[in-house]
């Protein structure tokens, strides 16, 4: 297992009613293991089962369709340069390569994000941990996390940093990894997958949402922060 830490400075308003703001550092811990395994404690978000993406024989389309197995509280959007595809269709040369465990398997749907494409997962409650099954690692792929903190700071991992630095991002189609991210101190609201080449291919999302007590504390923090900002505006107006 490979583990790597990334950090980004963010400005966060304290949860207690105090003047000013505090500096927080959002940390993303990355680990990767070969194969497709849901890490302990995580729950399935989607397997990308779809109404489209039928096989290459011409029965239905090879790409497109609507994802039918998205867990409650999650939303998945994609632009015109991203789509689901059935692994049974095999390699689409220069365009899309199924992750190894999906390749040639009927009903093993996966996501393809083409050059200049984008696909985004959003969680109503945020995510403390997230994993996905990634195939053919490429240098030109990118993952952006937007945190639940007051300022909604974001952090982007590019190329090899997505899976922790090794192996190289040479598009080896025989390689597939479960990539896991752990987020501290704030949860992540959304995760965006983009690419500047053909393509970013992945399957199976899973994750851990914050405990109810943590979520309640975060909402309380939002309310206090909003109150502080309103109070500052009133003082400024009276000055």
Q: What is the pLDDT of residue 4?
A: 58
pLDDT digits (tens, 9 = 90+) for 89-113: 899 999 999 999 999 998 899 999 9
Give mean pLDDT, residues 48-64.
Answer: 66
For residue 83, pLDDT over 90 is answered with yes
For residue 59, pLDDT over 90 is answered with no
pLDDT digits (tens, 9 = 90+) for 128-175: 999 999 999 999 999 999 999 878 899 999 999 999 999 999 999 999
Lowest-confidence segment of 114-118, 134-138, 224-228 by average pLDDT = 224-228
Domain ranges for the chain, please list them. Answer: 2-220
Structure tokens at 72: 């409650």
Structure tokens at 112: 């393809």
Q: pTM of the predicted model, to two decimals?
A: 0.81
The matching CATH number, chosen from 2.40.160, 2.60.40, 3.30.1480, 2.60.120, for 2-220 is 2.60.120
CB 168 within 8 A of CB 124: no
Q: Which of 112, 117, 125, 116 is nearest to 190 (CA)?
A: 125
Rg of the chain (C-alpha set): 20
Q: What is the pLDDT of residue 9?
A: 45
For residue 22, pLDDT over 50 is answered with no
Q: What is the pLDDT of residue 130?
A: 99
CB 66 within 8 A of CB 112: no
């Amino acid at each position: 297992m490979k583990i790597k830490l990334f950090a980004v400075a963010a400005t966060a308003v304290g949860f207690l009613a105090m003047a000013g703001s505090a500096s927080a550092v959002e940390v993303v811990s990355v680990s990767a293991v070969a194969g497709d395994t849901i890490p302990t404690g995580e729950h399935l978000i989607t397997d990308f089962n779809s109404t489209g993406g039928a096989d290459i024989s011409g029965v239905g389309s090879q790409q497109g369709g609507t994802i039918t197995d998205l867990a409650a509280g999650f939303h998945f959007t994609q632009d015109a340069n991203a789509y689901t595809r059935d692994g049974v269709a095999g390699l689409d040369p220069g365009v899309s390569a199924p992750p190894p465990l999906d390749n040639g398997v009927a009903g093993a749907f996966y996501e393809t994000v083409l050059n200049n494409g984008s696909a985004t997962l959003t969680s109503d409650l945020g995510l403390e941990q997230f994993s996905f099954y990634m195939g053919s690692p490429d240098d030109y792929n990118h993952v952006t996390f937007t945190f639940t903190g007051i300022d909604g700071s974001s952090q982007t991992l590019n190329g090899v940093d997505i899976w922790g630095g090794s192996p190289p991002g040479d598009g080896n189609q025989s390689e597939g990894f479960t990539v896991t991210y752990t987020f501290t101190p704030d949860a992540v609201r959304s995760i965006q997958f983009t690419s500047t080449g053909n393509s970013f291919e992945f399957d199976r999302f899973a994750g851990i949402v914050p405990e109810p007590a943590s979520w309640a504390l975060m909402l309380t923090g939002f309310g206090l922060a909003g109150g502080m900002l309103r109070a500052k505006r009133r003082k400024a107006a009276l000055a």
